[in-house]
Amino acid sequence: MEIYKQEFIEFMVECGVLKFGDFVTKSGRKTPFFVNTGFYQTGSQLKKLGEYYARAIEQKYGHEFDVLFGPAYKGIPLSVTTAISLSELYGADIRYCSNRKEIKDHGDKGILLGSPIYDKDRVVIIEDVTTAGTSIGETMPIIKAQGAVDIIGLVVSVDRMERGQGTKSALKEIEENYQIVTTAIVTMQEVVEHLYNRPYCGKIIIDDKLKNEIDAYYEQYGVKE
């Protein structure tokens, strides 16, 4: 596993973004772990987060695209900080764009924030995490309504590695349904591999009990090969 992935896993724990316990996902699944990028709260944390996203994007797509689209609301700061990091780390001047939940009817009218999306633009979508793939179904029509654009990919912070609407993983379903390439900074398999029975700041984050709970969750919701 690359060093930056190991650092990112520990960064999520440090920031309280990756939590373990009893949670319910947006899709209604009870889960022993939860990822919420809303817990990144300081300038230094957002700067680091953008750098991790930028590394994952550069590794998967390079920087030969035009727009980084972050769906409201969490995607707004993600698109901004990552666009800045793409510029600083790779000299790539990528435009950022997000949507409003409600269309503005005065001043800067319309549904978009940041850059407009033009015909022939190549777009990468940035999100926090995808569980069952429901949110992408809301995002794609917003982008497609802007013109003849090429949506080339979706990047998330963590691939939860579980089924979407059918038997395949949510990210695999998205790839097949929308003909785009998906990627993540890390997968849950990598998270478990890095934290299981390994002390971090003097504490075991994933012990045998929690590992069994995670395994049971994947037995129910994981992809059946």
List, by residue number, the catalytic residues. Answer: 104, 106
Q: Are strands 30-35 and 18-24 parallel, antiparallel or unpaired?
A: antiparallel
Selection from 153, 102, 161, 165 nearest residue 124 by Cα: 153
Residue 179 CB contacts under 8 Å (≥ 6 apart), including other chains: none
- For residues 184 and 93, give the distance between their C-alpha atoms in angstroms, rounded to a whole number: 22
Instruction: Let me know: does 170 contact 222? Beta carbons within 8 Å.
Output: no
Residue among 161, 141, 159, 165 nearest 151 (CA) = 141
